[in-house]
Structure 1
């Protein structure tokens, strides 16, 4: 079946007269009749009841009028829809982010700009730990990752671009003897019980903290594991232990706790945007261009 057959059929259905329909289509009446007969044979049904006096639609013909108009409408819309997909103006963009990702302008501002410029693109946000995002990117389950990484992190098959560096802070109860300190070292809290992310979570913070503790000559005593940032803060406020979390979580100004920056030179984690190498998804490329424009002039430091 060709689209011209649909147009021929609809012309006859509207005129209910083969000669007038042929004139409307600027073709001869016999070829038009032949085309309609061929269409009926292809479909296996009669579309018109023909007599010497009149032409009328059959029940199947009335139903086919609806479908034919719908198919022609879809065919006329299809080029624009395909162009929109090819230009990244429709479809889906899947973004992974860490718990603190939405607290930083480097994600929230490009995201708002992208939604404004490409309103027809469905943006799917998935909260994931760092290692989960790396895996999801390689498995093509997400298109973009906002990932906490240690400086110098690399991954085969992935582009990692650092957007900002965030200081690590010790989180203490506000009545802790060291809560008034302006800075601390990790050694200053080596006797404290620690609240850690579970090893199975794939978060970047516990690996970094363990390396810092090892470098300072001690193994942290983990009294409690917690998978969520707010749980860490709540447990610290309840006096269960101390935690180490990156800025900008302190911007939330939670009650009952103090964020004390760690003084070590390497006491930082980076927020990076991560994509697959050789990425050609137009929605991803549009997002990266917007991100570059929105964040122009900002230093990762």
Structure 2
């Protein structure tokens, strides 16, 4: 297997890991005013992701760095053409991170409410825009012969991409509700479980619409098989949520997100950024770095990836216990 294909697959793995882990962070943020009825309950919800949310974002940083090093032309075209959406995502992530730190700096309800809404917006905006971005990548974007993006911002807001954004928002919100049911106990666990069961069916409808559109317009037999597996995982998650089996429901929503990313990347291959004119598309061959660069990157990844995975796994193990509102000081 060529190193260009290997790195394409590794970048897909990084995005799958990011959606799996950051997905429930976004869901918890979106649900903060829905499940958190007072300050103690909202602090409980934030504490469920407090030890891990910043570590989960490392997957995004590594995915961006790997794209820059392995496929510099893809990186350049993506970040220039999608500059405004990616800037909005970056600003939203910064605001969310600041809000986590600043909401408790003053003992004032209005101060906390303002930062709580920053957490909601900082979670919802990326949840939507990541779906819009990947929807456009699968659909194809206007590129010229030099692989430069020649469209505008509103070209990205097409119906297919917007449906992709709605799909990621609903899936992340469901993933977050299931995570909260798994991570909390007492009344909050029951409330999150009921909400997860209620959210599972709208998520199924939206995801099925996006899957159908993708299968009809961008048919790929290999991708279709993976998307079908993702649909089955989501159905399984809905059933598990209905019977309050939080562990199985979380496995189901997690598998759905991982398989959805895998299906999108399989549908793309060998393109990394399809153009509306196929002759101008960026592929794993014309967008890649030199073989020497890819070889050095491979050895670095082999050496350091197990260390990073072990550390992050240890973090989740240390903070594995359920949380209750009674443990939150008044």
Given the two structures, how large is their TM-score scaled by the length of structure 1? 0.26
More helix by share: 2
Structure number with greater CO (CA < 8 Å, separation at least 6) is: 2
Given the two structures, how large is their TM-score scaled by the length of structure 2? 0.25
